Amino acid sequence: MKTNMKTYETVIGLEIHAQLSTKTKIFCSCPTQFGSVPNTQTCPICIGMPGVLPVLNKKVVEFVIKAGLATNCTISKHSRFARKNYFYPDLPKGYQISQFDLPLCQRGSLTVGDKIININRIHIEEDAGKNIHDSSDIHSLVDLNRAGVPLMEIVTEPDIASPLEAGAFMRKLRAILRYLEICDGNMEEGSLRCDANISLRPIGQKELGVKAEVKNLNSFRYVEKALEYEIERQTKILTDGGRIIQETRLFNTQSGKTISMRSKEESHDYRYFPEPDLVPIEVSDQWINEIRETITELPDQKTARFVRDYKLPSYDADLLSLEKYTADWFEEAVRLGGDSKQVSNWMMGELMRLLNEKNLSLDKSPLKPNLLVDMLKLVTDGTISGKIAKTVFEDMFNTGKSASEIVKEKGLVQISDLGELDTVIDEIIKSNSKEYERYKAGETKLLGFFVGLVMKATKGKANPKLLNSTLQKKLST
Ligand code: ADP
Ligand code: ZN
Ligand code: MG
């Protein structure tokens, strides 16, 4: 047995880049539309022609202050831009305008579950262009549409203890940014990307271990998977008596592994210095207060209110509050008379299932709150059974028709009429006389067998309560 066997704990810090959804770029008036023809959204400023001057888009500052306020940051009354110098073809100026020693927001926090994760800073920067390597061409191409698109970088303290917690932090952050309408959170389009820093240390040790940084993760799953892989890799090195080297790594989505990109020795010296072409950012208390006033209810507050006002379990409230549109949909259904827990159940169950299946977002659903509420009324007044409701629901989802229309068209009205049900039951008992005798001899579990047959014969339309009581009565005579 090894005597130096140690158990390690995981330490994670995230650097998250969020694209701000301003209409125009950060230092010029070019549009920021995703997916446009390469190099059609450019001008001398964002392609870095000599002699041009950047002019700061005020909305960018406003958006980042919003993010700072929503994450409990201190907003700097005085901050400034810095040049981060490096050479790469997607960066024609040879430097990126960012913030270094005086970021706009500092020392914030976000609560994830029961845990507080501290935020070190949020700063403003511009995005670079994009290199396009086409394997059928010996040349590489550069698209500068993204150059000068405004970003904010959110840097957490190394407070995150597991890949799942990292994923949860990102989901929470995304929800808040979307509520604030300052970032669309579209990870496939790169509106939210994450560099994940991770190290291990023996449990009980105060000092941080040597970290690796996994660059450019663009989905929650990739963040979690890359970090899981790193834990495995680093644990193996450490238990084998090796040392972790500080390096930047890339996640291969195919293999699920990370590979080394560059070690610290090869890393850039960015030679940061204050940006001489832009004046420092001065923020007044009045402006901060004005921006604070525009911040509406955020996910956590909404969750608490849903638990309090609608008596929802916090699990439901949490899920329904993740997206403002979903929360509004829920509240609209309740306002129209739907029972809160029933509405929640249908939304989290069938509705989510169908949306996933069709790969749709809720705002594209043909099924609107009023349709759900009308259907629930038909269930409550006994017109349709809960089982039939599922079919009706799916039909409503596919066609946008109302429940009563569908019920009428398809003849789905529940059979609550004793006479009609009587006839069916009598026939079934007659043609299954053996089972009937066995039932009478004491094999009462055969009730289920008869219920099944009646349901089949009525295409699920028999009122379950009525069916049960009538069957029991008839079988016992
Ligand atoms: P760097 O100088 O390499 O950029 P920073 O101190 O600026 O490192 O931190 C960058 C990110 O890495 C932050 O999110 C921080 O919380 C995280 N971090 C720093 N040190 C560690 C460590 N030893 N283990 C895990 N994460 C770390
Ligand atoms: Zn431009
Ligand atoms: Mg750093």
Q: Is 103 in the pocket of ligand 1 (CB under 6 A)?
A: no
Output the CA 100–ligand 3 centroid distance in Å: 9
User: Tokens 């495995």 correspond to what residue?
Assistant: 232
Question: Considering the chain, what percentage of its residues have pLDDT values greater than 90?
Answer: 81
Nearest alpha carbon, ligand 1 atom 15: 13
Q: Is 234 in the pocket of ligand 1 (CB under 6 A)?
A: no
The predicted model gives 32-40 an average pLDDT of 93
Arithmetic mean of pLDDT over the chain = 93
pTM: 0.86
Residue 299 has pLDDT above 50, yes or no: yes
Residue 1 has pLDDT above 50, yes or no: no
The Cα 406–Cα 395 span in angstroms is 7
Helices (H), 296-351: 299-310, 314-321, 324-335, 340-346
Query: What's the pLDDT tens digit per position in 196-209?
Result: 999 999 999 999 99
Q: What pLDDT score was predicted for residue 421?
A: 83
CATH number listed for the domain at residues 418-475: 1.10.10.410
Q: What pLDDT score was predicted for residue 35?
A: 87
Output the CA 38–ligand 1 centroid distance in Å: 35
Calculate helix-pair angle for 299-310, 324-335, nearest 10 degrees: 20
Query: What is the Cβ-side half-sphere exposure of residue 81, based on CA atoms within 13 angstroms?
Result: 23
Query: What's the pLDDT tens digit per position in 225-236?
Result: 999 999 999 999
Residue 339 DSSP symbol: -
Q: What pLDDT score was predicted for residue 387?
A: 82
Q: What pLDDT score was predicted for residue 5?
A: 63
- Other Cβ atoms less than 10 A from the Cβ of 130: the count is 15
Residue 477 has pLDDT above 80, yes or no: no
Residue 106 has pLDDT above 90, yes or no: yes
Q: Which value, in Å, is the radius of gyration of the alpha carbons in the chain?
A: 30
List the structure tokens of 107.
């020392």
Query: What's the pLDDT tens digit per position in 351-406?
Result: 999 999 999 999 999 999 999 999 999 999 878 888 889 999 999 999 999 998 99
User: Strands 247-252 and 212-217: what pairing?
Assistant: parallel
Closest CA to 365 of 396, 319, 408: 396
Residues around the ion ligand 2 (C-beta < 5 A): 28, 30, 43, 45-46
List the structure tokens of 172.
């929470």
Query: Which atom of ligand 1 is least distant from the CA of 208?
Result: 23
Q: Is 235 helix (H, G, I), strand (E, B) or coil?
A: helix
The Cα 247–Cα 207 span in angstroms is 19
Q: Give yes or no for a contact between 62 and 41, defined as CB atoms under 8 angstroms apart.
A: no
The predicted model gives 283-295 an average pLDDT of 98
Q: Where do the CATH 1.10.10.410 domains begin and end in the chain?
A: 418-475
User: Strands 82-85 and 273-274: what pairing?
Assistant: antiparallel
**Which comes out higher in pLDDT, residue 408 or 282?**
282
List the structure tokens of 101.
């020693």
Compute φ and ψ for 458, nearest 5 degrees. -100, 10
Output the CA 289–ligand 3 centroid distance in Å: 30
Q: Is 158 in the pocket of ligand 1 (CB under 6 A)?
A: yes
Out of 120, 197, 245, mutate this one to test ligand 1's pocket (max ligand atoms within 8 Å of CB): namely 197
